[in-house]
Chain A
């Protein structure tokens, strides 16, 4: 019974009830999700739950579909007219993939941190101010307060407080990425989608981002895409291993990494990337 929202939503209700009985709190439910780029299938019947709070790591070799999955969560897949999906993703009781969803609303609940830092043209302050404006915060004083707040939250405030009016592009790559994180937080999301956020950074900046993720995971659900095994081990509260568009194994890291069930995952763990 693929792609029948009605049936899926009943399943959804049941699962939520069961989860809650077990003391689990899930935020996103991916149900039998398949996705095609034109004729090529990039996601195959994906089943996955994303925890409320904590870090869920999507792990796998490059090209396995983890980024695609991540970007369907906030419907960036809409950008590509040749993408077609089947199945559903439930979030706050609604199917994200349905037509009735307000994507702008949805995207403000799911902040994205991309592979390379993407500062908007303009100053450091303007980068965050733009997010605040989109959130509907118009008063200048409140904007300024929040800019300071979010910059502090990503530990960038001390470094940039004297040059808020200088172009964001002048920051170091690591600082830019933290600025982008602050900007993402400014829209007050529930979920942070992070697409290999440290892959363009130097080791020190990477460590800073990772530390912030640890902290933020107390407040937010973080979905982290990575192909770095050690990063997954360091950060994950929950892991899904993807291979050629399928979620092959998933579970808690202590269990999963100690006792891989499939040959593919064993090999992946052995090779180490």
Chain B
């Protein structure tokens, strides 16, 4: 008996150590980036686009990448919402009594969720050539919208699964159309879930590098229309890090700090929103 006791204690310690490792990695990531990036971060970097000689360590900043990322994220999330909300609702209204179809769609979403961003990037590139678009904000937005839609639908689907079947059934028997039930009841009932799904996808859209590598067409200017190329923050980190010039390298870390802060803000506000909104659900 005593033996099993010791075994349990030892096991517990080992498990705790491995768990601690994950926490340490998070702190090492955040700590490392902030320590290296904060000193390089200043007002100029945040408010200027690259000027002549920027890539040799001269003046300028990453405003082009910040604005580019914001445009890209907003555009892609809006398109993703237009695709995702109806799809998720369709699964739970018109396909309510077709579990086989629900299963197939979820399988498809699982596959799409697992497809690497770089493959979306290659597909986006092909699509862009096919449509005759230039490397542009538009091409990047479409690519990222494809990338994040499965994420959004899956998250919405999960929260829609929490809604009791009774709500749908009683709404049907009251004479509502299925689409009405979807948008008027189910959507409202799962608003916190939808909001977190949106933010989850937004975060993924802002942070992704590989998918826009082919399509965004990095530039030093702030895009003024959808057909102009755009820079993004992850790309700014990636490209500047490969520079041999220390000043430019430091700016990669500064851009990483900005990116990290944006991502953290999104993930914290998603928690906050889901807590706040779950208070005003119907029933």
Contacts and interface: CB of A to CB of B under 8 A. Distances in A.
B1 to A, nearest CB: 5
B23 to A, nearest CB: 22
A105 B1 CA distance: 8
B112 to A, nearest CB: 32
B170 interface: no
Interface string B1-29: 10010000000000000000000000000
A102 B1 CA distance: 8
A22 B1 CA distance: 38
Interface in A27-60: none
Q: How many of chain A's residues touch chain B, expressed as a range?
A: under 10
A135 to B, nearest CB: 12
A104 interface: yes
A99 to B, nearest CB: 14
Nearest to B2: A102
A104 B8 CA distance: 13
Contacts of B4: 104
Contacts of A105: 1
B119 to A, nearest CB: 37
B4 to A, nearest CB: 7
Interface in B130-184: none
A59 B4 CA distance: 36
Interface in A78-135: 102, 104-105
Contacts of A102: 1
A123 B255 CA distance: 57
Interface string B111-133: 00000000000000000000000
B64 to A, nearest CB: 54
B98 to A, nearest CB: 29
Interface in B28-60: none
Nearest to B5: A104
Nearest to A104: B1
A115 B4 CA distance: 28
A48 to B, nearest CB: 28
Contacts of B1: 102, 104-105
A102 B4 CA distance: 12
Nearest to A136: B1
A146 to B, nearest CB: 21
A104 B4 CA distance: 9
B11 to A, nearest CB: 15
Contacts of A104: 1, 4
A257 B4 CA distance: 46
Nearest to A108: B1
A248 B16 CA distance: 46
A105 B4 CA distance: 12
B198 to A, nearest CB: 36
B6 to A, nearest CB: 13
A130 to B, nearest CB: 14
A78 B4 CA distance: 17
Nearest to A102: B1
A105 B5 CA distance: 12
B7 to A, nearest CB: 12
A104 B6 CA distance: 13
Nearest to A105: B1
A238 B26 CA distance: 60
Interface in A147-185: none
A104 B1 CA distance: 7
A102 B5 CA distance: 10
A176 B1 CA distance: 29
A255 to B, nearest CB: 42
A225 to B, nearest CB: 28
Interface of B: 1, 4
4 contacts: A102-B1, A104-B1, A104-B4, A105-B1
Leading 4 A-B pairs by shortest Cβ distance: A104-B1, A102-B1, A105-B1, A104-B4
